[in-house]
Amino acid sequence: MIQAVIFDLDGVIIESEPLWKETEKKVFAAVGLQLTTEMCRQTTGLDTKDTIAYWYSRYPWKGKTTSRLYKEIIHEMVVAFKNKVELKEGFINVLNFFMEKSIPLAVASSSPPIIIYTALNKFNLRKNFRAICSSEKEKYGKPHPAVYLTTARKLNTRPQHCLVFEDSFNGLIAAKASQMKVVTIPDTLEFSDKRFDISDLKLSSLLEFDNTKFEFLNNL
């Protein structure tokens, strides 16, 4: 039985993945690394520190430190979130669906806390979540399950009774490793990727979620 629901932030609550790609291309270009959109997809779901480490291990650069790049990316993203980010289509419908059922809600994101709170405060959503967790506070980020296990503890709910909404494969793996049920809403270009077939339910849009799908997941 589903006793709590956990949402990823980027690509689930907010339409932010294009902003992350835009910012990563800009910041990494300053150290001579020209990222393509396809390259950016390789790190979708990873936290910012792991993304930087991922690219540095493959294309080490000189000059700026990894910590400097981290600060630049976060600064750019805070500005972008305040000025450009929008809610993901259908999210408010899903949020209201679970609030009407009085099911506790949480956020478990790879983004750092300042990014999470900037987004939630912009749309006055922070009050709706009983727990808000960042994988940057964990020893390991997604696809490691740590952030989801921490979130379940904060919700005082066993992982097996949690339902997760994710958009990335790394997030899907993290939630599955936590023994949680997972709904994925992959990017359009990744929707046919068979790796997402391990999801308990895959949607092309949050607008597709309804009580029939909830009951299906609740009975798994």
DSSP string computed for 80-120: HHHHT--BPTTHHHHHHHHHHTT--EEEEESS-HHHHHHHH
pLDDT tens sequence across 74-98: 999 999 999 999 999 999 999 999 9
The catalytic residue among 10, 47, 50, 167 is 10
pLDDT tens sequence across 11-20: 999 999 899 9
Domain ranges of the chain: 4-15+86-218, 17-83
pTM of the predicted protein model: 0.91
Please state the rounded mean pLDDT for residues 126-140. Answer: 96
pLDDT tens sequence across 163-212: 999 999 999 999 999 999 999 999 998 999 999 999 999 999 999 999 99
CATH class of the domain whose range is 17-83: mainly alpha
Neighbours of 145 (CB within 10 A): 22
Q: Give 63's pLDDT tier (boundaries 50, 70, 90).
A: confident
CATH fold for the domain made of 4-15+86-218: Rossmann fold (3.40.50)
- Active-site residue, 10 included: yes
What gap in Å lies between CA 218 and CA 177, rounded to an integer?
19
- Active-site residue, 8 included: yes
Give the sheet arrangement for strand 4-7, strand by strand. Answer: 131-134, 105-109, 4-7, 162-166, 181-184, 201-202
Surface-to-core class of residue 147, CB atoms within 10 Å of its CB (0-12 exposed, 13-18 middle, 19+ buried): buried
